[in-house]
Amino acid sequence: MSGCCLAECVGWAALAVFAAKSLYNVSHFIYTTFLGRLLGHGIDLASCGPWAVVTGATDGIGKSFAKQLAAAGLNVVLVSRNSAKLQKVADEIKSEHSSIQVKTIAVDFTESQKIYNTLRDELNKLQIGILINNVGMLIGFGQRFGNIEDDKSIHDIINCNILSMARMCHIILPQMTKRKKGVIVNVGSLSSAMPTPYLTIYGATKAFVEKFSRDLAAEVQSLGITVQTVHPGYVATNMASHMKPSYISPHPDTFAAATLRTLGLEQRTAGYWTHKIQLYFTDLANFFIPRHLLESGVIKHFDELKKAAQNKKSR
């Protein structure tokens, strides 16, 4: 009888813990997604400093971040590799916000040390309040890593997705530390939170973003600096050109606005509400489902995508 009573007590205790955790998760989701900003909580973007820097700013999420920051009253530095596209985005922002200053820096983040000397020289002249490390590239989608034929692309994605983030933080952190104020947003991917066979190098670079950002956040929190990691799911950008804007794959403007509303409320987020739900259940699956089953599911998904693409071509 005592054994049954003990088992019953343990069962009820486990159920109570699960219920409390579930209630917290739902409440936290509602607060960070909808209520926090309405209550005046979070970070006032304009108070961070007069300038914001956005990498990968000519398309997609980066361009949307730049437009949102300009709308909040910040001057913007646009960083990307295409001078013509940079100027086009700069002109768009100036036409919408005539009082905002826009500076462009054309560099290719797949290159080596020289670009960071240029960036340091240019950015140290400005008082940077917000850094958005958004630049990124994707290679080997749906391919086995060993079948990637272009060796240079492996170096390029590491330089672009990993080195650029670390170096940009290293350039701008000293001035933020001196002022004891600043925000750094590092854009990762939902792929970093799950097994990604057939997307191995991309998922691995985004996993670095997760680890680096968490540790840096702990390191600089006492200095008044906020570091946030953002893990988007599908967003209707050029990188996911097959996706149309929807609840599952929002328009970049919608995603950027939702993400900025979470600043100061979440250190690790997926930004947009449906992506937050995806991230939550991904973390849950990682806890409850054996890794080999998750990997098998991802491989099956990619095999189905390949077959669908081949069938489409043969029609």
Q: Give the tens place of pLDDT for each residue, 284-313.
A: 988 888 877 777 777 776 777 666 655 655
Give whole-number Cα distances, 35 to 14, 41, 43, 270, in Å.
30, 9, 14, 17
On whether the CB atoms of residues 229 and 268 are closer than 8 A, the answer is: yes
Residue 4 lies in a domain: no
Residue 103: the pLDDT is: 98
First to last CA, the chain: 69
> Distance between CA atoms of 177 and 99, rounded to whole angstroms?
28
Residue 9: the pLDDT is: 85
Residue 36: the pLDDT is: 95
Cα torsion at 157, 159, 161, 163 (round to 10°)?
160
> In which domain, by residue range, is 146 found?
43-314
Task: Indicate the number of domains in the chain.
Answer: 1
> Distance between CA atoms of 4 and 24, rounded to whole angstroms?
30
Residue 119 lies in a domain: yes
Query: Helix, strand or coil for residue 130?
Result: strand
Find all residues with CB under 8 Å of 195, minimum gap 6, and list them.
Answer: 203, 291, 294, 295, 298
| Three-state secondary structure readout of 48-67 | CCCEEEEECCCCHHHHHHHH
Per DSSP, the residues of 29-53 read HHIIIIIHHHTT-S--GGGS-SEEE
Residue 228 lies in a domain: yes
Residue 306 lies in a domain: yes
202 annotated active-site: yes
Which segments in the chain show pLDDT lower than 70? 1-3, 238-243, 301, 305-315
Which of the residues 202, 234, 247, 280 is marked catalytic?
202
Residue 37 lies in a domain: no
Sign of CA dihedral 208, 86, 171, 112: positive
Q: Which residue has the tokens 């596209």?
A: 85
Residue 17 lies in a domain: no
On whether the CB atoms of residues 206 and 235 are closer than 8 A, the answer is: no
Residue 291: the pLDDT is: 78
CATH number, position 183? 3.40.50.720
Residue 5 lies in a domain: no
Query: Helix, strand or coil for residue 102?
Result: strand
Residue 3 lies in a domain: no
Residue 175: the pLDDT is: 97
> Distance between CA atoms of 91 and 159, rounded to whole angstroms?
29
Angle at 146 between CA 140 and CA 148, to 5 degrees: 35
| Burial status of residue 46 (CB atoms within 10 A of its CB: 0-12, 13-18, 19 or more) | middle
Q: What kind and span of H or E run contains 257? A: helix 252-260
